[in-house]
Amino acid sequence: MEQQTFAPKPANPTQPWDVVIIGSGPAGLTSAIYTTRGALSTLIIGGEAWGGQLMLTTTVDNYPALPGIQGPELMQKMRDHAVSFGAEFVEKNAESIDISKKPFEIVAGGTKYLANSAIVAAGADTKWLDAPGIKEFIGKGVSSCAPCDAPFFKDKKVAVVGGGDSAMEEALTLAKYATEVTIIHRREAFRASAAMQQKVLSDPKIKVLWNTEVKEVKGGNQVEKVVVANNKDETTSELSLDGIFIAIGHAPSTSIFQGKIELDEKGYVKIFDHTKTSVPGIFVAGDVHDYHYKQAVTAAGFGCMAAMETIKYLEESKSPGKTS
């Protein structure tokens, strides 16, 4: 992609960046595209394992205009796009942030960076089961997103692990495509809402294995079988399945922000007025605050909004009579 630099970088490390973006998934990289085009010097602290959850996926069929693109390829395109407009990208993990003074101080990989504003786009990690085969088959039958992957399991047999509303939603989505959906739940009752339970239990395609836990996922190139155990009588059995969807929650990447910006009871960043956080000059985008949609395209949308709010904030901060 042709270089089109819209924003100069700080002349030396003692000068602050206009904005530092923490995270390099769709939210963070979209933010960078907008902030650089808005003439803001932009640093992306992308992380050592950059790119977010899409780096672990294979085919992405629901990103507009790019059907069938591979997850890592999509993220590389986003990164190249942001860098082509002048964003600086460092593959370092953010380790700490000091918001007690302006500019903010962010440490990543042992290096201190100064920022006049920041966008938190650190994402959230899927809580995977700690069972043999789970990690090995991610993208090969193991998934955490039915809206993303359900069409790939048309006329196939799948399972969902979990007992909350998210698990119910995954099962109902999969039931539109699969011939059979088995919910594997370690307890004897769901914790999902009564309405969601009613929908699931009345669907003829969905059955439930109560008091059951996944012990192993087996297969060749794809998932073929799942070993489960009843935690009451300790009997084991083997299910022939084409896919297994893990729906036991997500963990937002907010550890360095605890006690710095306001988080909700689940650890997600709290939003005030669109994409503002509790700290003026710090904005948020993507799965680090959005635990409902969890889609690449919605994360990108939040990234756009956070960038536009950041541009507005910095413009107002420089205006006479305005305070930051």
Annotated catalytic residues are: 145, 148-149
pLDDT averaged per 10 residues, the chain (length 324): 72 93 98 97 96 85 93 96 96 97 96 98 93 95 93 98 94 97 98 95 98 98 98 96 95 96 96 96 97 92 99 89 48
Predicted confidence (pLDDT) per residue in 213-261, tens digit: 999 999 999 999 999 999 999 999 999 999 999 999 889 999 999 999 9
Report if pTM > 0.95.
no
Q: Render pLDDT for 117-148 as a digit per residue (tens, 0 to 9).
A: 999 999 998 899 999 999 999 999 999 999 88
Please report the pLDDT score of residue 2 as a whole number: 56
Q: Could you tell me the domains of the chain?
A: 19-125+251-318 (3.50.50.60), 135-246 (3.50.50.60)
C-beta separation of 261 from 245 below 8 A = no
Give the C-alpha separation, 262 to 117, whole Å.
17
In 162-295, DSSP assigns E strands to 180-184, 206-209, 212-219, 223-230, 236-240, 243-246, 250-252, 282-284
Q: Which residues 6+ apart lie within 8 Å of 284 measured at CB?
A: 119, 120, 121, 269, 271, 275, 276, 277, 302, 306
